[in-house]
Amino acid sequence: MINDYYLLIGLLLFSLTSSIALEMMALPRIIYIAKKKGLYDIPNGRKSHITPVPRLAGITFLPILMLVFSICSLIIIKQSPIETVTIFGTALRKMVGFVAGSIVLAGIGIKDDLVGSRYSHKMLAQFIAACLLVSGGLYINDFNGLFGINEVPAWFGVPFTILLTVFITNAMNLIDGADGLASGIAGVALISLGTMFFIRSMFFYSLICVILVGILIPFFYYNVFNTNRKVFMGDTGSLSLGFLLAYLGIRFAMNIPSSYGTVDSPALISLSALFIPLFDALRVMIERAIKGKSMFMPDRRHLHHKLLDLGLSHRKVMINIVFWAQSLVIFNIMMVHIVNINLVFLFDIALWFGLIQLLNALKKKQKTRFALFF
């Protein structure tokens, strides 16, 4: 733990402002290049936008994160006592696999955004990235009583973490279907996890969360509010963002030494931060399988599609889903202190199932009214 809290707060403020500034400088140039080279996201029957939009904003995420984080690391090494540097170095070793995996995903994402890429190739890249992530010693080793399971052996935890990482990465890629939605949900998860990391005295990971929030703020502005210079993050951004959230969520869920601050059920809190994209992707895959379709075939079954089909604007869809995501995190953090975590999880599932059934009923009622009108 870093003892100098003035240094801590100063680094957090520096990382936030510098990442915002760098992204603000980078995005106009990315938009210019995308328009100059004709690198647009073209509308089709499944997509919600009606005009071509530049889609390369995501290529800025990883470079800015690495640049700001490296500068902060150098400051910590120069200004902090040897004990802090030792703890920081241990965390850095776990980050090596994450960096390697991020480069793999950024590569396949850039290829997909420029010339297109097969889904099988993207899945392979995600699997390789997940394997690189766990090679750094990062895997879920404790469920904290969720499903009645506590300590998890490595023979189960490692392959489970690989599959979970691929699933989280995919889920964030799939939910990127309305303006500000993926970045908004990511922001909720990053603020929640960053705060909890700080409570646990895991400043290394709080710093990453703050940098990412700083990167997403300008992107959110351009994606949602700047109609003349609108930009999408593309697959490079959604894959990188999903992998980053997987890395942070898995690290938060890991059992850690007692010298750190304690948090009730970190596994459930990590799950809460990503609940909507994960369970939306799972629901859609199950529905496709039941209807005899490929689980990976694109369609309009996702939560944001249901809301858009009901007539809500992109902005209202984003606000509603982000609000639900944040409310669920706050609710679970409050409840894990007083209720068994399995009951909390069951309640989350019940709320989710009820929401989907309500939206299906509204859609059916809307179709019935349309049929009666004609």
Contact 281, 160 (CB under 8 A): no
**pLDDT for 260:** 45
Residue 80 pLDDT: 65
pLDDT of residue 216: 96
* Residue 210 and residue 72 in contact, taking contact as beta carbons nearer than 8 Å: no
132, with CB counted inside 10 A (0-12, 13-18, 19+), is buried
Give me the pLDDT at residue 84, please. Answer: 58
Distance CA 336, CA 268 (A): 8
The pLDDT assigned to 239 comes to: 93
The pLDDT of residue 263 is 56
pLDDT of residue 316: 92
- Can you give the pLDDT at residue 94? 75
pLDDT tier, 372 (very low <50, low <70, confident <90, very high otherwise)? very low
Q: Provide the pLDDT for residue 246.
A: 95
* Both structure tokens of 261: 């601050």
- How confident is the model over 45-63, as a mean pLDDT? 77
What is the pLDDT at residue 1? 43
Bridge-based pairing state of the strands 40-41 and 53-54: antiparallel
Distant-in-sequence contacts of 20-26, Cβ < 8 A, 24+ apart: 20/214, 20/215, 20/217, 20/218, 22/60, 22/64, 22/67, 22/68, 22/215, 23/60, 23/64, 23/214, 23/215, 23/217, 23/218, 23/219, 24/218, 26/60, 26/64
188-192, 297-301, 341-345: range with lowest mean pLDDT = 297-301
pLDDT value at position 294?
74
pLDDT at residue 261, as a whole number: 45
Looking at residue 178, what is its pLDDT?
Answer: 84
Contact 322, 190 (CB under 8 A): no
Give CA–CA dist 203/207, Å, rounded.
6
H/E element, 303: helix 303-309
Q: 58-97, pLDDT tens digit by residue?
A: 999 999 999 999 998 888 777 766 555 566 666 777 788 8
Q: What is the pLDDT of residues 239-279, one digit of tens each?
A: 999 999 999 999 998 866 544 444 567 888 888 889 999 99
Length of the chain: 374
User: What is the model's pLDDT at position 374?
Assistant: 38
Indicate the residue type of 266: P
| Region for residue 295 given its phi and psi (left: phi exceeds 0; alpha: psi -120 to 50; beta: otherwise) | alpha
> Which of the given ranges, 104-108, 292-296, 337-341, 364-368, has the highest pLDDT on average?
104-108
Instruction: Output 82 or 233, whichever has higher pLDDT.
Output: 233
Phi–psi pair at 224, nearest 5 degrees? -105, -45
Q: Give the burial string for 361-370 (b: 16+ CB within 10 Å, else e).
A: eeeeeeeeee
pLDDT tier for residue 363 given thresholds of 50, 70 and 90? confident
**Res 28: pLDDT:** 92
**Average pLDDT value for the chain:** 85
Q: Is the dihedral of CA 197, 240, 101, 13 positive or negative?
A: negative
Are the C-beta atoms of residues 165 and 136 closer than 8 Å to each other? no
* 119 pLDDT tier (thresholds 50, 70, 90): confident
Split at pLDDT 50, 70, 90, the class of 370 is very low
199 Cβ contact list (under 8 Å, min separation 6): 261, 263
At 369, the pLDDT band (50, 70, 90 cuts) reads low
In this predicted structure, what is the pLDDT of residue 234? 87
Nearest to 63 by CA among 29, 13, 112, 39: 29
Does the pLDDT of residue 45 top 80, yes or no?
no
Please write the tens of the pLDDT for every residue from 131-156: 999 988 889 988 888 888 888 899 99
> Nearest CA to 219 among 207, 232, 206, 235?
232
pLDDT above 90 coverage of the chain, percent: 45
Query: Minimal CA–CA distance to 365: which of 321, 314, 310?
Result: 310
pTM value?
A: 0.90
CA distance 230 to 49: 11
Q: Are 124 and 112 in contact (CB under 8 A)?
A: no
